[in-house]
Amino acid sequence: MVPARKTPTIQDVARHASVSAATVSRVLSSPERVTETTRERVYAAVRDTGYTINQAARSLRLKAARTILMAAPNIGNPFYSTIVDAVIREAAERGYSVLVASRIGDDPNRWLSDYMLSNRADGLLLFDGSLDTNRLHGLRDDGVALPLVAAYDEIPDAKIHSVITDNRLAAKRAIRHLVDLGHTEIGHIIGPSRNQSTNERFIGFAEAMQEAGLVVREEWLFPGTYNMESGTAAAEHLLASGKLPTAVFSGNDEMALGLIHRLRLDGIDCPRDISVIGFDDIAVARFFDPPLTTMRQPREDIGRMATSSLIDIIEGVVPEDEPIHVILTSDLVVRESTRAI
Amino acid sequence: MVPARKTPTIQDVARHASVSAATVSRVLSSPERVTETTRERVYAAVRDTGYTINQAARSLRLKAARTILMAAPNIGNPFYSTIVDAVIREAAERGYSVLVASRIGDDPNRWLSDYMLSNRADGLLLFDGSLDTNRLHGLRDDGVALPLVAAYDEIPDAKIHSVITDNRLAAKRAIRHLVDLGHTEIGHIIGPSRNQSTNERFIGFAEAMQEAGLVVREEWLFPGTYNMESGTAAAEHLLASGKLPTAVFSGNDEMALGLIHRLRLDGIDCPRDISVIGFDDIAVARFFDPPLTTMRQPREDIGRMATSSLIDIIEGVVPEDEPIHVILTSDLVVRESTRAI
DNA sequence: TTGTAGGCGTTATCAA
DNA sequence: TTGATAACGCCTACAA
């Protein structure tokens, strides 16, 4: 219980074990290159001194921080909870730490370059498709491309590694589900337009509508912001438009929840009077009243795969000229917020 | 648009500006100690070379990482979303980065010490009251106490800085609200017992019951785990117990949501047949059906204050022998899940 | 198998 | 006001 006077260094361990610092370093990184006996002595010394490696020194020497940066436009959205968890988990398994950043300040690109170029992080996990592609390419270090994986929200650039979901297809399936139930008057709450995934969902919606021979009515489209309040706003927009659609495809679950809640205030019941399908399958979806029909996003898989891909790239196991493009599939989860007309 | 061959160092900038590296360093940290003219020359050189500081080298030299570690038992819980956001925001404002860790692996303490002692983080924001106090004290560096702030979940140790909420009082107010509505048969879904906040809420519940002259019935107590599934389980427990209470105080909102959902499946309607009050006021609470009455936790304030306190401690503006103890107050938010009997 | 020595990029100290 | 120098703790040639 003697408090350490000072954080022990590799030198202290070396002295303690009567070996050189080099040997200690070797024991720690490649134990097989050291005799059994000295190895044991070093391990003992490590225990005795309570030595832990100094990451700053190690990073400086190795030019690698064994840290990745997860950047999202709004990490405060509960949607990211599962993802953050998966990212941390996967990173930890491979010996990496995770720094998190949210969009802060004016220049959306500056903080990223700061992190990357200052040796704080070895790679970037980007959940924001709205960033300037060129500047991203510009983030270079040592003349080699910055390890970067676009996750969830795609970046329309084939050269950038990405782990995304089949947004367009999923949207089409959502609409087909409604069509199969007999709906012909279908509205759509659109997500924030700066997200590429939003656009993909919108395109899927439009395509499916056309394929079903249905018309997209302008007044049944509403630009939301992915939070519940904008679902409420969408409801008010629809209410004001005079005639309600019989079904609504919401760009995400939260807006769907806001929509259902607000409509009910005016006596419009889901699913009795209107069907609503969401997107994501957030945790509350199945506990809501009515339990929400939605397109389930494999959030955990996104986090895990994006992280492991990024680390693969950092560690050079992925050839630079063969971009990774993982497209995960979303599942239709039918619950009670949609019903036949 | 010429891609840099190599990350420029302070030496490169120095050469570029025809000054010494020391001068460049000075310009960057205390510009007033350098002549206007050289200062300008250095700034220009920084721009030209695209120099960014190497954090690893800086950390090594300064023995400070300008990084804090946020550790929570289950960062995957959406409850933390707002908090993470606030922490990042506050930290960024003071020039700090944020590392996140979740409980991973066997030894809950080991990873923390690893982070701290290895110079990766300068301080710890701990959202987990179940950690061994003594080992926490043992986390020392240079013989001075590890900068540590216990946030949200308190640690029963007066020497540890903390930013928490008035759990016991809040629970009492929740119960009094129910009592004021005429309820006398009140159940409680308890959170995971390893959390101190859980215990505080339970004590508050018990005290308020006693003060109101009500008895706590064993079969109306249910140990949950803070997720919606355990709310469902609580419902089934109550259903099986034969007689339902007329009101339930849930240790958090998510369990309340699961409870309400599950009871409705058996035709027990909230608030018609049973009143439910939650704790936290998570984002969905007001959009749920019925909108949830709950004790609002100032989550953003917790994140912000805990972070700024921690950084104060790191930077030595807080005397070590005067622990910070912030207790934030929770607000009763009356919505529609509770009603007079 | 082990040790010596040099350098990663930065900043603080001391001189000039 | 500015510059030279040393040191932070680690790893890796290279030498023994």
Q: Dump pLDDT digits (tens) for A71-88.
A: 988 888 888 989 999 999
Question: Which chain A residue's Cα is nearest to B88?
Answer: A101
A153 falls within a domain: no
Q: How many structural domains are present in chain A?
A: 2
* d(C-alpha A161, C-alpha A158), whole Å: 8
Question: Which chain B residue's Cα is nearest to A4?
Answer: B143
pLDDT at A135: 64
Contact residues, chain A, for B228 at CB < 8 Å: 283-284, 287
Contact residues, chain B, for A113 at CB < 8 Å: 52
B162 falls within a domain: no
- Is B255's pLDDT higher than 90? yes
B67 falls within a domain: no
Is the CB of residue A105 less than 8 Å away from at least one CB of chain B?
yes
Contact criterion met (CB < 8 Å) for B76 and A59: no
Contact criterion met (CB < 8 Å) for A141 and B7: yes
B272 falls within a domain: yes
Write the CATH number for A217: 3.40.50.2300
Is the CB of residue B268 less than 8 Å away from at least one CB of chain A?
no
User: Closest partner residue to A140 among B3, B75, B118, by Cβ?
Assistant: B3
CB A241 within 8 A of CB A266: no
pLDDT band at B109 (very low <50, low <70, confident <90, very high): low
**Predicted confidence (pLDDT) per residue in A216-242, tens digit:** 999 999 999 999 999 999 999 999 988
Q: b/e for B165-198, b at 16 or more Cβ within 10 A?
A: bbbbbbbbbbbebbbebebebbbbbbbbeebbbb
Is the CB of residue B76 less than 8 Å away from at least one CB of chain A?
yes
Q: How big is the CA angle at A208 (ends A207 and A213), to the nearest 5 degrees?
A: 95
**Structure pTM?**
0.91
pLDDT band at B1 (very low <50, low <70, confident <90, very high): very low
**Predicted confidence (pLDDT) per residue in B55-66, tens digit:** 999 999 999 999
CA distance A172 to chain B (A): 27
In chain B, % of residues over pLDDT 70: 90
pLDDT at B206: 97
Among the ranges A250-259, B4-13, B135-144, which has the highest mean pLDDT value? A250-259
Q: Retrieve residue A57's tokens.
A: 């020194």
- Is A156's pLDDT higher than 90? no
Range of the domain at A180: 167-298
- Is A134's pLDDT higher than 80? no
**Predicted confidence (pLDDT) per residue in A32-59, tens digit:** 889 999 999 999 999 999 898 999 999 9
A64 touches strand D (CB under 7 A): no
Residues contacting A26, CB < 8 A, separation 6+:
A33, A34
Contact residues, chain B, for A78 at CB < 8 Å: 78, 81, 282-283
User: Closest partner residue to A98 among B100, B114, B287, by Cβ?
Assistant: B100
Q: What is the DSSP string of B166-205?
A: -HHHHHHHHHHHHHHTT---EEEEE--TT-HHHHHHHHHH
Q: What is the mean pLDDT of chain A?
A: 90
CB B251 within 8 A of CB B191: yes
Contact criterion met (CB < 8 Å) for A75 and B59: no
A84 falls within a domain: no
**Predicted confidence (pLDDT) per residue in B157-206, tens digit:** 888 899 999 999 999 999 999 999 999 999 999 999 888 899 999 999 99
Q: Retrieve residue B335's tokens.
A: 């919505």
A256 falls within a domain: yes
pLDDT band at A3 (very low <50, low <70, confident <90, very high): very low
A202 falls within a domain: yes
A23 touches strand C (CB under 7 A): yes
Q: Closest by alpha carbon to A113, among A91, A90, A131, A97?
A: A131
From the CA of B285, how many Å to the C1' of D11?
54
CB A142 within 8 A of CB A316: no
B35 touches strand C (CB under 7 A): no
Write the CATH number for A21: 1.10.260
Contact residues, chain B, for A97 at CB < 8 Å: 99, 101, 115, 120
Q: Closest by alpha carbon to A175, among A151, A215, A141, A204?
A: A204
* d(C-alpha B128, C-alpha A63), whole Å: 33
pLDDT at B223: 97
Per the structure, the residue whose CA is closest to nucleotide C13 at C1' is: B22
From the CA of B107, how many Å to the C1' of D13?
38
Q: Retrieve residue B251's tokens.
A: 């240790």
Q: Which of residues 200-239 of A touch B (CB under 8 A)?
A: 227-228, 231-232
Distance of CA A270 to the CA centre of its chain: 30
A200 falls within a domain: yes
